[in-house]
Amino acid sequence: MSRAGALLTIAAALLLGAPAWAADPLVVRIGYLIRAEEPRIPQTFLEPVSEDEGVQGARLAIADNNTTGRFLNQRFDLVEVTVPEDGRVEDAVRDLAGQGVRLLVADLKEDALLAAAAAPEAADMLIFNTRAPDDDLRNERCRANLLHVTPSRRMQADALAQYLASRKWMNWLLVVGRAPQDAAYADAIRAAAKRYRAKIVEEKRWTFEDANRRVDTGHVTVQSEILTFTQGTEHDVLVVADEADGFGEYLLYQTWLPRPVAGTHGLVPTAWSRVHEQWGATQIHSRFERQAGRWMRPRDYTAWMAVRAVGEAATRTKSADPAALAAFVRGPDFTLPAFKGQGLTFRDWDGQLRQPVLLAGPRVLVSVSPQPGYLHQFSELDTLGDDRPESRCRNR
């Protein structure tokens, strides 16, 4: 080859992001596991029905990883597996292990997640929990091969409690739905109230049939029921525990006393929200919307963080070995940039990702916790959720 031809070859290779002399790229295979389910029907047509929550975030992160990977001769592949509603996640884990997957993003609810983590083939996997907020997964039911990317319910409740305490809204009316996950959210709220010395002055159970605003009398039914239901003890704020999303949206502007609504509706503690614009968040919003044709949701964001954690480890270690990547992610030198103003790390005692929690209204970001003044000897982020002395995890 002539000198000019060689120079052109090298220039073209540099433009493509890889050296001309590079061998085949190092391949990092990341599994994405989800169980099929009926899509959630939102209470309003303003929020479209989505059947691809979670996976779209993982796909965006794979693209981000490969953008950097081209310069390091690395390639990232996402192996997507959907288990039927009546299928066994253990079988899917075995199939993924057979394809060489040792790093797994699990978009699963608690029982399915534990079944996946307990599969024999998962013993040498690192599994990222991107969906289940259950506090017992970080405590009595913790597993050595599990890292939790999504905030726990306790983290969310603490984030909300810090803000309410900072406003001196210390007397709460707690309204709890009928679903098991509503009861679990209420447990976290009670624990947060105790930690931050707030008082739940009254607790009520929502026992009405969920109203339908789309029928002619729906709004009338809502108005009459909620007005009388919320009468009672004087309070500063109504805290709602309605993860099942059956009634919480109806409480806003319908209560007997003119009080703010917070919790699962109203002012919501969350990992991610479309109203978040700080620290470059508009950039990821724009890229996600171009890809998915909709707003990024919390499950998309946590899946994105999990896949990006693998990409960050591969960049820092310049390795594609799953064991080396898993060790780095768990280690003291790992930090994850995630559009929240600081690098995020995993707690060694329960596998939870430390992270700020957004407090989002329907159309604006109200605040971000931890709130100013809540100090900690190691990290202010550890004021959210179970701290090391409180942890009941014994399996790590």
pLDDT value of residue 224? 80
Rg of the chain over CA atoms, in angstroms? 23
- Note the pLDDT tens digit of each residue in 156-180: 999 999 999 999 999 999 999 999 9
Beta strands 146-148 and 74-83 are: unpaired
User: Could you say which architecture CATH assigns to the domain 14-151+273-355?
Assistant: 3-Layer(aba) Sandwich (3.40)
SS3 per-residue string spanning 21-76: CCCCCEEEEEEEEEECCCCCCCCCCCCCCCCCCCHHHHHHHHHHHHHHHHHHCEEE
pLDDT value of residue 395? 78
Confidence of residue 46 (pLDDT cuts 50, 70, 90): confident
Find how far residue 171's CA is from the centre of its chain: 29
- Note the pLDDT tens digit of each residue in 50-68: 889 999 999 999 999 999 9
pLDDT value of residue 214? 52
Pair 384, 357: CB distance under 8 Å: yes
Which of 193, 185, 187, 191 minimizes the C-alpha distance to 164?
A: 193
Answer yes or no: is pLDDT of 391 > 80: yes
Percent of the chain with pLDDT over 90: 84
Answer yes or no: is pLDDT of 298 > 80: yes
pLDDT value of residue 7? 45
Which of 80, 101, 99, 89 minimizes the C-alpha distance to 29?
A: 101
Answer yes or no: is pLDDT of 4 > 50: no
**Which DSSP string corresponds to 271-306?**
S--TT--TTTHHHHHHHHHHHHSS---HHHHHHHHH
pLDDT value of residue 215? 52
- Note the pLDDT tens digit of each residue in 19-39: 444 588 999 999 999 999 987
Q: Which fold has domain 154-269?
A: Rossmann fold (3.40.50)
Fold equal for 14-151+273-355 and 154-269: yes
How many other CB atoms are found less than 10 A from the CB of residue 105? 32
Parse the chain into domains and list their residue ranges.
14-151+273-355, 154-269
How many other CB atoms are found less than 10 A from the CB of residue 186? 25
Read off the pTM.
0.91
- Note the pLDDT tens digit of each residue in 75-124: 999 999 999 999 999 999 999 999 999 999 999 999 999 999 999 999 99
Answer yes or no: is pLDDT of 13 > 60: no
What is d(CA 391, CA 4) in angstroms, rounded to the nearest whole number? 65
- Note the pLDDT tens digit of each residue in 219-241: 556 778 899 999 999 999 999 99
